[in-house]
Structure 1
Amino acid sequence: MSSLDQNHSGCRDKTTVAGDSSDIHELAKQPLQGLKLASHAVLEEAQQSGRVICSKCGGSRMFFCYTCCSLVGVGVQDIPITKLPLKIDIIKHPNETDGKSTAVHAKILAPNDVTIYTYPCIPEFEREKVVLVFPGPQAVSVQDMLHCLRDRSNSRSQNHFDEPCPKKLKTERVEGATHTDITPESGTPDETESLESRMSPLQRVVFIDSTWNQTNRISSDERLQGFVQVELKTRKTCFWRSQKGKPDTYLSTIEAIYYFLKDFHQHCLSLEYKGEYDNLLFFYSYLHSVVNKAKISAGKC
């Protein structure tokens, strides 16, 4: 397992003396520290080899093809495929530059649980089982979202009280619960019932992949109205492509997915977080270190 090179994980004063207490304190505040990541050796080797032509589209790519969502110059056996407890749907703006989007990171690293749609293509959702991660005046925290979903589900049930409600078997698996550590089959009946009650009714999470100046076109679409809306208010971005005039709580797509799942794991499943989803930042953390090293070399940090 590896983490980012601490000497290059953020913009630091190059004149700071190594070992100084203030330097150590500042380093501790740097982003992406302490992640449980697979080794970046394969990416370092691929970077040294240079760009490779994508066999599908013919584009010159490094690590992966952001157009085809496929690996380039790196084997699938060399990257950490990650299983997620929920299904992730990403609605991508048609004018979003593929090469600048981090949504492809999620698709490549969690291929069985992530789907990318290009707007105006939006799948049909059951509103009582889906949340939209997007800031807004009605947005709630991850901690409060399940309560909101249950309130909506209960309200709907009361409106249909004449219809018989089939009893749910304790052994029925919740759709999307694919992580081996938290599947109902792995626990006792009581543990299974408790886990299902914590996860249900949430099954899917929707993210919008776009520059913040382009999001209104998607977020205002009538097909995305009426969802419980979630905002990650306490997280700050460390994306190297900052957007002028936007607060640092506006995250890149892969950051939003990662932090949502981490909060979900801790606050909704009530489980200790042990780095289960850190490898979603496998590419992001490496590129972050590469960009910062380049800034340091250019004297911009």
Structure 2
Amino acid sequence: MSKEESTGVGIEDGKAGQEGDASGEVNAVKRKANWSGQWGHGTKLGKTIMQEKREYLDLLGLKLTKTDTIDGYFDTRKQGRVCPNCEKGPNNGLYCYACLVPLKGVCLPQIPKLPLKLWVVRHEKEPRKKSSAVHAEVICGKEYAETVETPLSDDLVFDKETTCVIFPSDTSVPIKDLPNLKSLKSVIVLDATWIKAPTMNRLKQLEGVPRVHLAEYRTLFWRYQNFPDTHLSTIEAMYYFFVEYEKAVHDGVYDGKFDDMLSIFIGQFRKIERFKAAGIERFKTTG
């Protein structure tokens, strides 16, 4: 998990890859690209790590919409766009960090409905502008994605029979093996650095709520991080959870309906690619 970006607790080294079915497509991608367990082996072939990640992204075949539009928003972010609610909140050219809504004149992809309520439990010291988790609320709306910050209210109660937490542990199970899979109504993701995440996992409001872990994926996060590349950003963990959930309840079928959850994240990735192509280094990347 990155020290710089608030990232999601979706994969733990050693826990990932224990379920063959859910990870089949991504494993096929890795075999096709001849990847090893870590980014960087391709440097022997003259590839940068960013180039390896681009190949991985292309092979995933995400069905993203408005990619050119999002690129344009990032390239013209200094045009004075404002929030339709507060008109003065800080923003990144696409959405307001305070209100978590698109800015005036910005048309972002929308996912009209999620099969489960998504709860984002954010560490109080994690700034929104460095969190990818906020993308879910911007794209899916507050009806389906809601953020709460620690310390959590004592009045906040999660039903153990209808809720799960994305967090790898000795007792976590693959999503498809969750005993209460058919009765799930909500999922919780912890939005914190990997160092802070274990403490958040011990919140009393989460006691007794089943834990699930994801299959093995490689993060596309572009900043250098001191952790294995199976440590996903928060938005990646959310996305892969819903993909695996959809496959688990629909006999392995997934039609790309949640791919746009990654649209802002991939837009940022594409922006970094353009910077590097132009010889601009804004911060330390993976290469």
SS in 2 for 1:208: strand
How many angstroms apart in 2 are the aligned matches of 1:241 and 1:74?
29
- Partner of 2:195, secondary structure, is helix
Per-residue Cα deviation, 1:99-132 (whole angstroms, up to 9, x for no partner): 1101111001111311011111253111011000
* Match status 1:36 vs 2:63: yes
| Contact 1:61 1:72 survives alignment (8 Å) | no
Q: Choose which of 214, 222, 227 in structure 2 pairs with 1:232.
A: 214
Whether 1:203 and 2:230 are equivalent positions in the alignment is no
- Name the amino acid aligned to 2:254: Y
Q: Does residue 115 of the first structure (1) align with residue 111 of the second (2)?
A: no
Structure 1 pair 34/284, CA: closer, same or farther in 2 (3 Å)?
same
Could you tell me how far apart the structure 2 residues matched to 1:276 and 1:40 are?
Answer: 16
Q: Structure 2 matches for 1:90-169, cutoff 5 A? A: 90-111=120-141, 112-121=143-152, 123-145=156-178, 147=179, 149=180
Pair 1:242–1:67, CA change in 2 (3 A): farther
* Residues 1:219 and 2:246 aligned together: no
Identical counterparts, % of pairs? 26
Unpaired segments of 5 or more residues in structure 1? Answer: 1-9, 18-23, 150-198
Aligned structure 1 segments of 4 or more residues deviating by more than 4 angstroms? 10-13, 24-28
- Return closer, same or farther for 1:133/1:256 CA change in 2, 3 Å cut-off: same
Matched, 1:295 2:281: no
- Whole-Å Cα distance in 2 between the matches of residues 138 and 103 of structure 1? 25
Aligned residues: 232
Where does residue 109 of structure 2 map in the other structure? 79
TM-score by length of 2: 0.71
* More contact order relative to length (CA 8 Å, sep ≥ 6): 2
CA distance in 1, matches of 2:267, 2:139: 14
- Greater displacement, 270-279 / 89-98: 270-279
Tell me the amino acid that sits aligned with residue 157 of structure 2: E
How far off its partner does 1:238 sit?
1.3
Alignment-mate amino acid for residue 207 of structure 1: V
* 1:121 counterpart letter in structure 2: L
Greater helix fraction, Structure 1 or Structure 2? 1
1:195 paired residue number:
none
1:264–1:252 Cα change, 3 Å: same
SS at match of 1:61: coil
Q: Which moved more, 1:24-33 or 1:86-95?
A: 24-33
Question: In terms of mean alpha carbon deviation, does 32-41 or 207-216 score higher?
Answer: 32-41
SS at match of 2:173: coil
Structure 1 position 252 matched with structure 2 position 249: no
**8 Å CA contact 1:131, 1:228 repeated in 2:** yes
One-letter code aligned to 1:40: T
TM-score, length-scaled by structure 1: 0.68
Partner Cα separation in structure 2 for residue 74 and residue 295 of structure 1: 28
**SS in structure 2 opposite 1:213?**
coil
What's the offset of the Cα at 1:27?
6.4
Q: Give the match's secondary structure for 1:41.
A: helix
CA contact (8 A) 1:134 1:229 kept: yes
Q: Helix, strand or coil for the counterpart of 1:291?
A: helix
* Higher Cα radius of gyration: 1
The structure-2 alpha-carbon separation of the partners of 1:242 and 1:25, relative to structure 1 and needing over 3 Å to count, comes to closer
- The offset of 1:59, in angstroms, is 2.2
